Amino acid sequence: MTPRTLVDKIWDNHVIRRLQSGADLLHVDRHLVHEMTSHRAFDSLRKRGIGVQSPDLTFAAVDHIVATLPGRGEATNPAGLPFIRMWRQNCEEFGITRFDIGDPRQGIVHVVGPELGIDLPGCTLVCGDSHTASNGGLGALAWGIGSSEVEHVLATQTIVQTRPKRMRIWFEGALGAGVSAKDMILYVIGKLGTAAGVGYAVEYAGPAIQALPVESRLTICNMSIELGARAGLIAPDEVTFAWLKGREFAPKGRAWDAAVADWRDLHSDDGAVFDREVTIDCTQIAPQVTWGTSPQDVVGIGENVPDPAAIDDPVRRAAVERAIGYIGVTAGRPLDGTPIDYAFIGSCTNGRFSDLVAAAEVARGRKVAPGVIALVVPGSMQVRQAAIDAGLDKVFLDAGFEWREAGCSMCVAGNGDFIPPGKRCIATSNRNFESRQGPGSRTHLASPASVAAAAVSGRIVDVRTFSGSKS
Amino acid sequence: MDKFTTLTGTAAVMPLENINTDAIIPVTWIVNYGRDLGEGLFGVWRYHADGTERTEFVLNQAPYRDACILVGGRNFGCGSSREEAVWALLGFGIRCVIAPSFGDIFYENSFKNALLPIRMAQEDIDVLMRDPAFVAGAKLVVDLETCRVSVPGGSNGIAFDIDPARREALLQGFDHIDLTRQHVDEIAAFQAADKARRPWVHAPGKGE
Ligand code: SF4
């Protein structure tokens, strides 16, 4: 048989029929729904008078607009209330399992999917959110869709897609101290640009990927969309299987054994052909921090902000000038030392347990710098509980961080948590767009350890100069 | 779905790369239930904090208030999957966006709403923009039948490529869900067969 890529293997398993247009009608194994983008889809379904084709394969989380203040309820963020109510009502009416406020399983949809074993290797998984590719960290082919496609999946449990081109990004060499999965993916985006992945599904592979624990793999796949790719994935292995076993919606007993036997074939065959291959040397990666308003505007902490005068392409030069002006950094100077007002640890990129461990290691025994507001928002209530069990809540609270309940919070600033105009935030989330964290907000993206280090220093700093935790 | 055949009208030019969907429709408008998304189009760029218009922003200037075509830079519509970005453009009156490249999800969402996204090389866009008739009137004609964009009273224009099936769907106003529902039997058959092949997929959390 011709050698196939991982993407092609999963794709071929899901084709219901090839359509005349050349696109394929694919089966969707898992559909995740959240409160911000789903209500129009359900309304339209109701108007058509049709139900949800496979409610058992559909799961719903409340995350985007839910308040994260301790003791929050559905009305703590008044703007979110109609959305939460519509979402709840739709789940009830159409028979969809939901993780509501007060449920110990509530959390950000891309944190909850893997952690509950809803997301499985070899599955097709979609959700009305662009960071759905996170789920590719377990070896699923997962991608974000718009509301019309949400409605299509609800109505038919299928999606019409043209087979993407395949890109493989091969990581070799060991990561340095203080460098994490977030730095790896920011580095790649900086090298290739935010449009490199348009039209592609990206497989992340190589020894440095295999060496990563599952949560780090989810972080890498999460930011595939910042590379322009709808889907990014990593071949599942023993690490994946061990991590998944026993999770609530993962297969059990004999079904588990059959699943694992099937999943062992989920890797790109030797000789499989990719449309583009890129190799990354991990020894070259320093802690990354963004200086501008696109995730590709990123440098290693020791490097300088670029000088627009040195850029030939006029469109790019204008973009760099605008970004530097907006963020308020100096061309040709390092970011190191830039004072910050806010620090945000959370989101579907870096709101998992290991992320909180990495941040707590830096925060332990230190204090948030005077004048800095620092938030820790766990990605899910399970993550939150695990952190409490490990005593991390105390570490953060002692250091002066706010300790929140689970949700998207300051990543998208839709729930009442936002950065005021002109203020500067360093964040573990995935987007540094103009006004993303609130109108006029300025965002620097970095890893959990780098953000914690900035929070206690009051300025952007090289986390490698922090020698372990202070206790 | 609405049809799209031809469109003639004012084109506003925003020569920025990576115009993302957060910029097209800021989250503050989305989470304000029932608010007119067209009013929120490019909200942060269009209004001061007190809600008054920023006069320097293109869509606040005559004749661009009536624009129905937007010409953008590379990677237009990147970022968040929010279909509200498309609805906001439509709410304002934009029916067509021309750019060298688009974010994948925005591109897909556009077709679902009969908003035509045209991929056109920057050199070709520049040719249109420099046409003296365009400089004078800021108008373009978009013809999906012939797949050309031209300047009224100007040169013959530029041809664009589009997937034939997508073009047909727009010209006919096909509904994507109705089309797929013609295959309901095949979908059911696939699920039944797949259940035997991969039982764990179809019974989340179960033992057999
Ligand atoms: S944390 Fe941010 S990126 Fe992730 S799902 Fe929520 S809003 Fe989207």
Determine the atom of ligand 1 nearest the C-alpha atom of A134: 4
Give the pLDDT confidence score for residue A468 in this predicted structure.
57
Closest CA–CA distance from residue A364 to any residue of chain B (Å): 34
Distance CA B204, CA B67 (A): 49
Residue B22's closest CA among A351, A196, A107, A36?
A36
Structure tokens at B25: 């429709």
Chain B residues with beta carbon closer than 8 angstroms to that of A160: 176, 180
Average pLDDT taken over every residue of chain A: 96
Residue B84's closest CA among B43, B166, B17, B26?
B26
Distance CA A336, CA B14 (A): 33
Average pLDDT taken over every residue of chain B: 95
| Residue B180 and residue B162 share a domain | no
Structure tokens at A40: 């129009």
SS3 annotation, chain B: CCCCCEEEEEEEEECCCCCEHHHHCCHHHHCCCCCCHHHHCCHHHHECCCCCECCCCHHHCCCHHHCCEEEECCCECECCCCCHHHHHHHHHCCCEEEECCECHHHHHHHHHCCCEEEECCHHHHHHHHHCHHHHHHCEEEEECCCCEEECCCCCCCEECCCCHHHHHHHHHCCCHHHHHHCCHHHHHHHHHHHHHHCHHHHCCCCCC
Give the residue from chain B lying closest to A37, CA to CA: B82
Structure tokens at A291: 């200086």
Instruction: Decide if pLDDT at B166 tops 60.
Output: yes
CB of residue A429 inside a 6 A radius of ligand 1? yes
Give the homologous superfamily in CATH for domain A290-462: Aconitase, domain 3 (3.30.499.10)
Please give the CATH topology (third level) of the domain spanning A165-235+268-284.
Aconitase; Domain 2 (3.40.1060)
Where in the sequence is the domain holding B188, given as residue range(s)?
176-208
| Residue B82 and residue B41 share a domain | yes
Q: How many CB pairs under 8 A join A and B?
A: 200
What single-letter amino acid sits at A183? D
Is this complex's ipTM strictly greater than 0.90? yes
CATH number at residue B111: 3.20.19.10
Instruction: Decide if pLDDT at A356 tops 90.
Output: yes
| Length reported for chain A | 471
Give the pLDDT confidence score for residue B207 in this predicted structure.
81
Chain A residues with beta carbon closer than 8 angstroms to that of B175: none
Instruction: Decide if pLDDT at A467 tops 80.
Output: no
Give the residue from chain B lying closest to A164, CA to CA: B104
Residue B173 backbone class (left: φ over 0; alpha: ψ -120 to 50; beta: rest) = left
Confidence class of residue A224 from pLDDT cuts 50, 70 and 90? very high
Instruction: Say how many domains are in chain B.
Output: 2
One fold for A6-161+237-254 and A165-235+268-284: no
Task: Determine which of B82, B104, B202 to mutate to test the interface with A (most A C-beta atoms within 10 Å).
Answer: B104
Residue range A259-303, pLDDT digits in tens: 999 999 999 999 999 999 999 999 999 999 999 999 999 999 999
| Helix B84-92 / helix B104-112 crossing angle, nearest 10 deg | 50
CB of residue A192 inside a 6 A radius of ligand 1? no
User: Hey, which residues does A403 pair with through a beta bridge?
Assistant: A376
Domain range list for chain A? 6-161+237-254, 165-235+268-284, 290-462
Instruction: Decide if pLDDT at A252 tops 90.
Output: yes
Mutational test site, ligand 1, from A33, A38, A63, A225, max ligand atoms within 8 Å of CB = A63
Mean pLDDT value of segment A361-385: 98
| pTM (whole model) above 0.90 | yes
Residue range B41-87, pLDDT digits in tens: 999 999 999 999 999 999 999 999 999 999 999 999 999 999 999 99
Instruction: Decide if pLDDT at A233 tops 70.
Output: yes
| Residue B125 and residue B207 share a domain | no
> Does B59 reside within a domain?
yes
Share of chain A above pLDDT 90, in %: 97
C-beta atoms of A56 and B204 within 8 A: yes
C-beta atoms of A147 and B31 within 8 A: no
| Residue B150 and residue B47 share a domain | yes
State how far the alpha carbon of B120 is from the alpha carbons of A49, B149, B186, in Å: 40, 10, 38
Q: What angle do CA A142, A148, A151 make, to 5 degrees?
A: 80
| Residue B123 and residue B39 share a domain | yes
Residue range B115-126, pLDDT digits in tens: 999 999 999 999
Distance CA A173, CA A169 (A): 13
Residue range A16-57, pLDDT digits in tens: 999 988 999 999 999 999 999 899 999 999 999 999 999 999
CATH number of the structural domain A6-161+237-254:
3.30.499.10
A158 alpha-carbon distance from chain centroid: 24
